[in-house]
């Protein structure tokens, strides 16, 4: 919820606009005075609803803009059957390589540290062989990033001892954990949006497969996708959240969830006509995390408040309370 003082500020500005107070809002007062002279207005410049009429309020355009009130036309769209899940980033099998000593002997030089990007064939270490007493070079078998180093200069390397681990992190697996009945109707090929928790960056991909086993620790089914790591900021082992879209349902009319308010036990939206905002009861259908289908109460193209709708609600309720006294 936004701070309550914003509501008070809006009401005060409206009062000054209608009463002609010297507050620098003379332009708003002119707009209010220019409204239909036959419309009944209360002392604050709000149109009074007649008997049986829908609750409404009048807000000059300049004040609405400064208050952040935004409208959008009612139109068609798509309601998605979506599931929010969490998961982990992991390196792709076959893209991780260990670099080992071929012959036992002391380590004479190391040429890479953890985090360094290396390319296939790049020299990584020099070791003196105990058998031949000559130096040999250990090179990177693949291109990637050094994720581990197990040797130190002057130390002894046994034959076959791992010296480095290199991972190609240009792409990563995303293992998503799905619980209960959701696993029965989520399958390969459906779109999924992955969100990085550190900064909110998202990437679009699709599920490649649902693994046959159960993750022992979480008792969940694992669905796997692959993402590109173009900015090198997706880190293996990091937790991510994801939104899996199972199905999409086209609808004739819909509004954002932010447009909905509850008044007198009814779901309403606020329809703008000029400077007047009317509370309109609506009938609702399917919804997803962002949108809701409208099955009654609105016509296509009508301008509905989609941002700061709670300000309109508060203003109407304030005026209703004043009239009750």
- Give me the residues paired with residue 193 across strands: 204, 243
Compute the distance between CA of residue 142 and CA of residue 121 in angstroms, rounded to an integer.
7
Q: Which residues contact 171 (CB under 8 A, 6 or more apart)?
A: 92, 95, 226, 227, 228, 229
CATH class, range 5-77+250-324: mainly beta
pLDDT (0 to 100) of residue 295: 96
pLDDT (0 to 100) of residue 247: 84
pLDDT (0 to 100) of residue 232: 87
pLDDT (0 to 100) of residue 218: 78
**Beta carbons of 250 and 78 less than 8 angstroms apart:** yes
pLDDT (0 to 100) of residue 323: 66
pLDDT (0 to 100) of residue 14: 44
Residue ranges, comma separated, of all CATH 2.40.30.170 domains in the chain are: 81-92+171-245
CATH number of 81-92+171-245: 2.40.30.170
pLDDT (0 to 100) of residue 318: 85
Residue ranges, comma separated, of all CATH 2.40.420.20 domains in the chain are: 5-77+250-324
**Beta carbons of 165 and 99 less than 8 angstroms apart:** yes
Q: How many CB atoms lie within 10 A of CB 29?
A: 19
CATH number of 96-167: 2.40.50.100
**What's the pTM value of the predicted model, to 2 decimals?**
0.61
Instruction: Enumerate residue ranges in the chain where pLDDT < 70.
Output: 1-53, 320-325
Residue ranges, comma separated, of all CATH 2.40.50.100 domains in the chain are: 96-167
Q: How many CB atoms lie within 10 A of CB 214?
A: 12
pLDDT (0 to 100) of residue 325: 60
**Beta carbons of 276 and 57 less than 8 angstroms apart:** yes
């Amino acid at each position: 919820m936004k701070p309550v003082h914003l509501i008070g500020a809006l009401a005060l500005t409206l009062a000054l606009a209608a009463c002609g107070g010297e507050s620098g809002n003379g332009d708003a007062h002119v707009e209010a005075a220019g409204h239909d002279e036959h419309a009944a207005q209360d002392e604050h410049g709000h149109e009074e609803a007649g008997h049986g009429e829908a609750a409404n309020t009048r807000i000059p355009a300049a004040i609405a803009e400064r208050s952040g009130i935004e409208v959008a036309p009612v139109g068609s769209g798509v309601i998605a059957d979506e599931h929010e899940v969490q998961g982990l980033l992991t390196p792709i099998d076959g893209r991780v390589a260990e670099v080992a000593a071929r012959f036992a002997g002391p380590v004479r030089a190391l040429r890479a540290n953890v985090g360094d990007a290396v390319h296939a064939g790049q020299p990584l270490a020099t070791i003196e062989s105990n058998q031949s007493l000559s130096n040999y070079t250990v090179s990177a078998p693949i291109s990637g990033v050094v994720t581990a180093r197990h040797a130190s200069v002057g130390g002894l390397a046994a034959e076959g001892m791992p010296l480095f681990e290199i991972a190609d992190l240009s792409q990563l697996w995303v293992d998503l954990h799905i619980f209960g009945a959701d696993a029965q109707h989520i399958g390969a090929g459906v779109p999924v949006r992955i969100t990085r928790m550190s900064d909110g960056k998202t990437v679009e991909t699709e599920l490649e497969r649902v693994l046959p086993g159960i993750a022992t620790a979480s008792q969940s089914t694992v669905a796997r996708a692959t993402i590109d790591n173009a900015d090198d900021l997706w880190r293996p082992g990091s937790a991510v959240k994801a939104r899996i879209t199972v199905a999409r349902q086209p609808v004739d009319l819909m509004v954002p969830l932010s447009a909905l308010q509850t008044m007198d036990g009814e779901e309403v939206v606020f329809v703008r006509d000029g400077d007047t905002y009317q509370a309109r009861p609506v009938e609702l259908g399917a919804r997803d995390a962002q949108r809701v289908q409208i099955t009654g109460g609105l016509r296509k193209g009508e301008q509905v408040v989609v941002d700061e709708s709670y300000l309109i609600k508060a203003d109407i309720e304030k005026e209703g309370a004043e009239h009750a006294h």
